[in-house]
A and B are shown apart, each in its own frame.
Chain A
Amino acid sequence: MRAVLRLALLQARRDRGTLAAWILGIAGLGYAAGSAVTTQFAEDNERAALISVAAASPAFLFLRGLPDGISSGAVTFFQGYSFTAVLAGLMSAFLVIRHTRADEDQGRSELVGSTQVTRVTSLYATLLLGTCANVVLAVAVAAGFIGADLPVSGSLLAGTAVGAVGLFFMAAAALVAQVMPSARSANGTAAALVGGAYLIRGAGDALGTADSSLLHVTAAWPSVFSPIGWAQRIRPFTETDPLPLLVIGAGTVVVAVVAVALRSGRDLGASYIAADDSGAERAGAGLASMLGLAWRLQRGSLASWCFTTAALGAVAGGLGPVVGDALEGNPSVAELMSRIVPGDVGLIDLFTTAMLGIAGVLAAAAGIEAVLRLRAEEAEGRAELLLAMPASRFRWLGSTLAVAVFTTTAAAVAAGASAAVVLASGQSGASSPGTVFAGALAHIPAALIFPALTLLVFALAPRWSSAVGWGALAAALFLGQFGELLGLPVWLQDLSPFRHSSAMPVEAFNPEGAVLMAAIAIAVAAAAIRLIRERDVMV
């Protein structure tokens, strides 16, 4: 027991910065969602209008969750629960993989395992740390809601719902860590489970049935298969029901017990899905260059990113017309929508635009991920080997940058193409598939600023590249989602590059914004390439 505690403290020490950032970020998001509702939708009739729009619109239900009355708390929960739950799941999943499969990959588990501990002591420690992190998260989210003037008991329950989702994915990731052969594949699988839970909940909610008042929606059967869907059924701000908590708790315990049993039954470094340990004896002609290497290292995650954005594009193209049908001819709805996106807009276009905006954010994320490979190459010592070759740092950086730009572009193209194809195959009176395709591409210049910025930080202060890269994207996402709702000053909102890319098809294409963003991205990347010559390679 003492060993579990000591190892948990060690893991907590390693994680203190990361976990603090996650918890504060998630709680901050909850606070922002709460104050957006309490300040911008202070009147009952405003909230009623918002909820009735949502209840009638499968797309809203899909993205956000189930409307459950018009109290401030219920509207906040509807607006903010799904996102916070997804973030809690990701936080917990990455936490667990970091201390299990990743430690095994790096050989640290071997060192710890040689001391007076059993095979599962370290896993117990990780589960303890994850539990503590989720308890703190639950309290922090509740504090965020309370800080936004929402009822105390409901806020505590809402925080508990988010923490419960985190706990479940902590256990699920512990199981994934036993099964998958590498930290990279384990992280991907665990994140996909979180994303899948969100999508299954989305499907269940979108197929749900509204009551006669159009203010409550009950989820359909698919949501039973999603822990995010279960925790939503707690209904913290209305008719609270603790039973779903017990279901999630029981599920968490069962999965965790299985994970512990699997860890206990396997060798160090072994996995229940075996890695493919052999491959080609000779490198293909393409690999024997910096560019070839950069492509080889990125192509797997490039495919995953494109798959994800294509799925999003398909939703954008397929669900857009459904939204339009549901809302056509409801003037109060149009009025309300115009408060979220100003201007005279078609409802289908509005939905499509929002989805393409998310695709743009994902494209930026793909670019950041591609650039951060440089950091791993340097920190893990492979850059030393490469840069001792007669190849310049310019080629090293430039090759990765080229692959990152391609990744971002491909992710946006995949979203646009899939949206356009799905749109073209259905019948609707919305924008042409070509316009929708162009709408996805319109985000590329703004999205490219993020990999360029990450590259610049890598050139100047490599240790900060991950934090600044992802932090900048999170900030831009926050400004985009809540900047308008919170009435933040225009100059602050303008800091987000996505504010300057054209929100097609709602807006017309604005070449000035695109050119400006592209120019900034190029200038930042050029500065990075210039500055990388000035510092020591970290070893």
Chain B
Amino acid sequence: MNTDSTPVIHTSDLVKNFGRTSALAGLDLSVLQGEVHGFLGPNGAGKSTTLRILLGLMRPTSGTARVFGIDPWSEPVRAHRDVAYVPGDVTLWPNLTGGEVIDLLAGLRGGADENLRRELIDEFDFEPRKKARTYSKGNRQKAALIAAFSRPARLYLLDEPSSGLDPVMDAVFRRHVRRVTSDGATVLLSSHILSEVEKLCDRVTIIRSGVAVESGTLAELRHLTRTRFRVTSAVKPEVLSTWRGIHDLSIDGATIEFDADAADLGYVLNALATAGITAITAAPPSLEELFMRHYGLQAAGQASHKSQQSQKSQVL
């Protein structure tokens, strides 16, 4: 039914206001069939609100949202038929066991694939006989993930799905995302962790203050994935400035900080080795830092102010 030309998810100029605060301010998002689409943004940028609109749980103030070409607000049941969802903050029924919750959620979608269910419980090292009230955040998340992955869907909406998982479980999670996409499913994965998105996603949309500020393949967004270096070295500043792929250089005595393009990492490391260093840390820049750098301090300040407001409106 859907070809590559008709997106699985399409929103255009999506606006959502909660009272006087604005959660989405004209969001355009397009997710193509078969891709893992990263939905990246700081806390409160509007990621969860977007997913809730895509699920028909909230009505957009203006603009359109389509899932499989269906308006989820007016026809939620039809739009949900092939959708699996894992919310960012999973709460379960305290008196039901994890196994019962999985059966309930999968059952509402038509029933779990028994082999998949067994496999997932095993791989996620999940204890299905415990009552949900005893579960930690990670275990609640596992229950929702197992329910979502235990029955094939055409679209997976995952809201910061691995935020409570340890690295081993995170690897299991990534394996299952790859499994469903190799079967042709589409995944929209919201996150505020750039490295997580890098590992999984084909394309990325970056959202800030309710609007999409960047969208494209990872290669197209490569300029966002510079590595942050902090070295202690006696290398001369005038030498440093001749190096390739160096950005945002700052020097404080012997402590030197700069960003390096991914393509030039080998060159920079060689140059550093040649120059001689006594200490080095290298880290991918956090998303917040990227925003600070790419959109200016003032804009980022507004973003975090706004995000606090929209979070507040969600709590109230």
Which residues of A does B touch, CB under 8 Å?
Answer: 105, 182, 275-283, 287-290, 292-293, 296-297, 380-382, 384-393, 536-537, 539
Instruction: Tell whether, in the assembled complex, residue A385 and residue B57 are in contact, meaning their CB atoms are under 8 Å apart.
Output: no
For residue B107, CB closer than 8 A to chain A, the reply is: yes
CA distance A390 to B77 in the complex (A): 4
Instruction: Tell whether, in the assembled complex, residue B100 and residue A537 are in contact, meaning their CB atoms are under 8 Å apart.
Output: no
Instruction: Tell whether, in the assembled complex, residue A282 and residue B55 are in contact, meaning their CB atoms are under 8 Å apart.
Output: no
Residues of A close to B83: CB separation below 8 A:
388, 390
Residues of A close to B77: CB separation below 8 A:
390-392
The 16 sampled A-B contact pairs (Cβ below 8 Å) are: A275-B131, A275-B133, A282-B99, A283-B107, A287-B103, A288-B106, A288-B107, A290-B108, A381-B90, A381-B91, A384-B52, A384-B87, A387-B56, A387-B76, A389-B108, A392-B76
Residues of B close to A388: CB separation below 8 A:
55, 57, 80, 83, 85, 87, 157
CA distance A508 to B58 in the complex (A): 50
CA distance A384 to B48 in the complex (A): 11
Count chain B CB atoms within 10 A of each CB in A277, A381, A384, A387 and give the residue with the most. A384
Q: How far is the CB of B38 from chain A (nearest CB, A)?
A: 20
Instruction: Tell whether, in the assembled complex, residue A278 and residue B57 are in contact, meaning their CB atoms are under 8 Å apart.
Output: no
CA distance A379 to B129 in the complex (A): 26
- The answer to whether residues A296 and B99 also contact, given A277-B131, A280-B129, A281-B128 and a CB cut-off of 8 A, is no
With CB as the reference atom, state the residue of chain B lying closest to A288.
B107
Q: Which 7 A-B pairs have the closest CB atoms?
A: A288-B107, A283-B103, A388-B85, A389-B108, A390-B80, A381-B91, A537-B57
- The answer to whether residues A288 and B52 also contact, given A278-B131, A390-B80 and a CB cut-off of 8 A, is no
- Chain B residues 55-106 with CB under 8 Å of chain A are 55-59, 76-78, 80-81, 83, 85, 87, 89-97, 99-100, 102-106
Residues of B close to A296: CB separation below 8 A:
96
Residues of B close to A182: CB separation below 8 A:
94, 133
Instruction: Tell whether, in the assembled complex, residue A539 and residue B52 are in contact, meaning their CB atoms are under 8 Å apart.
Output: yes
Instruction: Tell whether, in the assembled complex, residue B100 and residue A381 are in contact, meaning their CB atoms are under 8 Å apart.
Output: no
For residue B268, CB closer than 8 A to chain A, the reply is: no
With CB as the reference atom, state the residue of chain A lying closest to B80.
A390
The 8 Å CB contact of A382, one of B81, B93, B133, is: B93
CA distance A388 to B95 in the complex (A): 21
Residues of B close to A283: CB separation below 8 A:
96, 99-100, 102-104, 107
CA distance A397 to B134 in the complex (A): 28
With CB as the reference atom, state the residue of chain B lying closest to A537.
B57
Residues of B close to A385: CB separation below 8 A:
85, 87, 90-92, 105, 144
Instruction: Tell whether, in the assembled complex, residue A279 and residue B100 are in contact, meaning their CB atoms are under 8 Å apart.
Output: yes
Q: How far is the CB of B284 from chain A (nearest CB, A)?
A: 31
Instruction: Tell whether, in the assembled complex, residue A387 and residue B57 are in contact, meaning their CB atoms are under 8 Å apart.
Output: yes
CA distance A275 to B130 in the complex (A): 11
Q: How far is the CB of B269 from chain A (nearest CB, A)?
A: 43
CA distance A393 to B77 in the complex (A): 9
CA distance A282 to B101 in the complex (A): 9
The 8 Å CB contact of B131, one of A276, A380, A382, A390, is: A276
CA distance A441 to B58 in the complex (A): 41
Residues of A close to B85: CB separation below 8 A:
385, 388
Which residues of B does A touch, CB under 8 Å?
Answer: 48, 52, 55-59, 76-78, 80-81, 83, 85, 87, 89-97, 99-100, 102-111, 128-131, 133-134, 144, 157, 314
Instruction: Tell whether, in the assembled complex, residue A281 and residue B109 are in contact, meaning their CB atoms are under 8 Å apart.
Output: no
The 8 Å CB contact of B92, one of A280, A382, A393, is: A382
Count chain B CB atoms within 10 A of each CB in A278, A292, A390 and give the residue with the most. A390
Q: How far is the CB of B36 from chain A (nearest CB, A)?
A: 19
Residues of B close to A275: CB separation below 8 A:
131, 133
Instruction: Tell whether, in the assembled complex, residue A288 and residue B81 are in contact, meaning their CB atoms are under 8 Å apart.
Output: no
CA distance A391 to B104 in the complex (A): 12
- The answer to whether residues A536 and B59 also contact, given A282-B103, A381-B89 and a CB cut-off of 8 A, is yes
Residues of A close to B106: CB separation below 8 A:
288
Count chain B CB atoms within 10 A of each CB in A278, A280, A385, A393 and give the residue with the most. A385
CA distance A391 to B314 in the complex (A): 24
Residues of A close to B130: CB separation below 8 A:
277-278
Q: How far is the CB of A344 from chain B (nearest CB, A)?
A: 52
CA distance A453 to B277 in the complex (A): 74
Q: How far is the CB of B134 from chain A (nearest CB, A)?
A: 5
Instruction: Tell whether, in the assembled complex, residue A287 and residue B57 are in contact, meaning their CB atoms are under 8 Å apart.
Output: no
Q: How far is the CB of B141 from chain A (nearest CB, A)?
A: 12
With CB as the reference atom, state the residue of chain B lying closest to A183.
B94
Residues of B close to A287: CB separation below 8 A:
96, 100, 103-104, 107
Residues of B close to A539: CB separation below 8 A:
48, 52, 57, 314
- The answer to whether residues A279 and B103 also contact, given A381-B87, A381-B89, A536-B58 and a CB cut-off of 8 A, is no
Instruction: Tell whether, in the assembled complex, residue A278 and residue B97 are in contact, meaning their CB atoms are under 8 Å apart.
Output: yes
Residues of A close to B94: CB separation below 8 A:
105, 182
The 8 Å CB contact of B108, one of A276, A297, A390, is: A390
With CB as the reference atom, state the residue of chain B lying closest to A389.
B108
With CB as the reference atom, state the residue of chain B lying closest to A283.
B103
Instruction: Tell whether, in the assembled complex, residue B99 and residue A280 are in contact, meaning their CB atoms are under 8 Å apart.
Output: yes
CA distance A380 to B81 in the complex (A): 24
The 8 Å CB contact of A537, one of B58, B80, B103, B104, is: B58
With CB as the reference atom, state the residue of chain A lying closest to B76.
A392
CA distance A283 to B92 in the complex (A): 14
Residues of A close to B108: CB separation below 8 A:
288-290, 386, 389-391
CA distance A137 to B95 in the complex (A): 36
With CB as the reference atom, state the residue of chain B lying closest to A388.
B85
Instruction: Tell whether, in the assembled complex, residue B100 and residue A280 are in contact, meaning their CB atoms are under 8 Å apart.
Output: yes
- The answer to whether residues A389 and B91 also contact, given A277-B130, A281-B99, A283-B104 and a CB cut-off of 8 A, is no
Q: How far is the CB of A37 from chain B (nearest CB, A)?
A: 46
Residues of A close to B102: CB separation below 8 A:
283
Q: How far is the CB of B184 from chain A (nearest CB, A)?
A: 19
Instruction: Tell whether, in the assembled complex, residue A279 and residue B129 are in contact, meaning their CB atoms are under 8 Å apart.
Output: yes
CA distance A290 to B105 in the complex (A): 10
Instruction: Tell whether, in the assembled complex, residue B100 and residue A282 are in contact, meaning their CB atoms are under 8 Å apart.
Output: yes
Residues of A close to B91: CB separation below 8 A:
380-382, 385
Residues of B close to A382: CB separation below 8 A:
91-93
Instruction: Tell whether, in the assembled complex, residue B55 and residue A387 are in contact, meaning their CB atoms are under 8 Å apart.
Output: yes
CA distance A257 to B92 in the complex (A): 36
- The answer to whether residues A279 and B105 also contact, given A390-B81, A537-B52, A537-B58 and a CB cut-off of 8 A, is no
Instruction: Tell whether, in the assembled complex, residue A389 and residue B80 are in contact, meaning their CB atoms are under 8 Å apart.
Output: yes
CA distance A276 to B94 in the complex (A): 11
Told that A281-B99, A385-B85, A539-B57 touch, could you supply 15 new A-B pairs with CB distance under 8 A?
A105-B133, A276-B131, A279-B100, A280-B99, A283-B100, A289-B108, A290-B108, A297-B93, A381-B89, A388-B85, A389-B80, A390-B108, A391-B108, A536-B52, A536-B59
